[in-house]
Each structure stands twice: as structure tokens, then as C-alpha cells.
Amino acid sequence: FMPDLPVPEYIPEGFELEELKISKYMNGSYWSRYRFENEFGEVFDITSNYLDNTDEDITMSLNGEITEVRKNDRRFYVVHDDYTLASNINFVLGKQLVNVTGSINYEKMIEIASKITDYTN
């Protein structure tokens, strides 16, 4: 059904998958969101926007205080929101724009993002 769905291969201890939502469009593109939660009410989401109908390079536009981090041959863009005091990790994986966000610390978010796999590449 979704062979190109990104797979999170690292989930911090104590977190469980609470919900997976997928919206698939007629042109082959889709949006997905994994939601994980622990017993203390901490949550994080992994969202993906897959663009199937383009041969062009994927680009993204980010607002806020942005820091670039490199790990496992990937570039992650960390955006800190001064209003909510939250951070999120953004990166391109194949034809997908992927985002990790939540009420967990920066190091865990980077570890989660660095171990998301796209099995079509």
C-alpha cells in the first residue's frame, strides 16, 4: 500500500506509537504523521510529505532561528520557535519532506531523524 512510507528505526525508550495517519492523493503524493507518546505525556510526531509527481529537486522554506546539523550523511535543519519554545527537525529524504517535532529534547529528535529510513532508495 505504501512502500515508500518512511520508517522510524529508533524510538526513545518508553514511547509507543499512538496513531498513524496517512492521506494519499490521486496524483500519487501523500502526507503521513506518526504520533508517539510516553506515560509522562511527552509526545513527538514524524510527518512526511511525499511528492510523487515531480522530477525536480525538492526544496523547503523555513522561518525562524535555523541551525544546520549533519549526521549520517544527511543535513538536518533545526528550527527553534521562540513563541512556543519548541524545536523541530526538517530534512529531505528522497522525494519526501520530513519533520520531527515534539516535547522531547533536541538530541533525541536528531537521533530519531537520523534513523528514519526510506526503503525505496
Residue-wise pLDDT tens digits, 108-118: 999 999 999 87
Q: What distance in Å separates the CA atoms of residue 103 and residue 17, rounded to the nearest whole number?
A: 15
User: For residue 51, what pLDDT is reported?
Assistant: 75
User: For residue 25, what pLDDT is reported?
Assistant: 83
Beta strand residue intervals within 9-85, DSSP E: 16-24, 30-37, 43-50, 65-71, 74-81
Answer yes or no: is pLDDT of 65 > 80.
no
* pLDDT tens-digit readout, 4-22: 788 899 999 999 999 999 9
* Length of the chain in terms of residues written: 121
User: For residue 14, what pLDDT is reported?
Assistant: 96
Q: What does pTM read for this prediction? A: 0.84
